[in-house]
């Protein structure tokens, strides 16, 4: 394991992961386990922000079946991320983890308004900041929000926790011949349209030279291992002129 660990990272945590295998929107046991890993990482000096998705509350494909338009579905998804942020905050309190939830649109009775300066202050004091509400705009995903927050906060990496152990040439669940990339450039990833992250998010990380590490967050201690510098998953990197 590398002795190097990151000074500051942004974790992209999908709503689907928070739902786990349970029939409810949130699997508390899984969330506690992830928060326990986050606490170990923060205790070792790495500042962590989390951009949380809302797919456990409403997925886009479900929205279409229910007759919702894209804008309304995105608004509902944004509110779903607020639900997830509040759950992380309260469960985290039981793990002695100080979590602050910040949102880019007014939600003052529940969470703090997002400002870059206040978020950096929280992180500097060893608090975990959960960013909810995406970018605050429809038609943009929480992948893009993660890249944007990482750029605003001078993070050293975006950690994209998924249910797969990296980026493959095809979906390994459906294609046994799919091959895993150990490293791939942003340019290659966008050209190949591999689908693991939105092109707008990849573009932001490319322009700001912030690597993305795609890893299996459900693997034992996967989050802690990648946040503390162990080389697992797939590294997506390379500046705008790579």
pLDDT digits (tens, 9 = 90+) for 137-149: 998 999 999 999 9
In a domain, 82, yes or no: yes
Domain of residue 152, CATH code: 3.40.1160.10
Per the structure, the complete domain to which residue 26 belongs is given by: 8-237
Helix axes 142-152, 199-208, angle to 10 degrees: 10
Tell me the per-residue pLDDT of 2-35, one tens digit each, with 9 for 90 and over: 444 799 999 999 988 888 766 668 888 999 999 9
Q: How confident is the model at residue 58 (pLDDT cuts 50, 70, 90)?
A: confident
Whole-structure pTM value: 0.92
- Nearby residues of 180 by Cβ (< 8 Å), 6 or more positions away: 165, 166, 167, 168, 172, 234
In a domain, 155, yes or no: yes
- Are 42 and 92 spatial neighbours (Cβ–Cβ below 8 Å)? no
In a domain, 242, yes or no: no
In a domain, 78, yes or no: yes
Q: What span, in angstroms and rounded, lies between the C-alpha atoms of 115 and 100?
A: 12
In a domain, 1, yes or no: no
In a domain, 32, yes or no: yes
DSSP run (H or E) holding 157: strand 157-162
Total domain count, the chain: 1
In a domain, 3, yes or no: no
In a domain, 172, yes or no: yes
């Amino acid at each position: 394991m590398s002795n190097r660990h990151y000074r500051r990272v942004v974790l992209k945590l999908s709503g689907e992961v928070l739902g786990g295998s349970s029939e409810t929107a949130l699997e508390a046991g899984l969330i506690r386990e992830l928060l326990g890993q986050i606490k170990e990482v923060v205790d070792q000096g790495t500042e962590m922000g989390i951009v949380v998705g809302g797919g456990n509350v409403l997925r886009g494909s479900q929205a279409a079946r229910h007759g919702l338009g894209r804008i309304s579905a995105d608004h509902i998804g944004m509110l779903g991320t607020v639900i997830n942020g509040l759950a992380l905050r309260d469960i985290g309190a039981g793990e002695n983890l100080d979590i602050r939830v910040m949102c880019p649109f007014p939600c003052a009775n529940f969470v703090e308004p997002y400002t870059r300066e206040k978020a950096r202050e929280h992180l500097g004091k060893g608090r975990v900041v959960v960013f909810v509400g995406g970018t605050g705009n429809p038609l943009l995903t929480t992948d893009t929000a993660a890249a944007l927050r990482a750029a605003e906060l001078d993070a050293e990496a975006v950690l994209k926790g998924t249910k797969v152990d990296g980026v493959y040439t095809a979906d390994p669940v459906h294609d046994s011949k799919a091959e895993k990339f150990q490293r791939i450039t942003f340019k290659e990833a966008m050209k190949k349209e591999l689908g693991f992250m939105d092109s707008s998010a990849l573009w932001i990380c490319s322009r700001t030279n912030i690597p993305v590490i795609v890893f299996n967050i459900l693997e034992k201690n996967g989050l802690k291992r990648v946040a503390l510098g162990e080389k697992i998953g797939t590294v997506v990197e390379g500046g705008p002129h790579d």
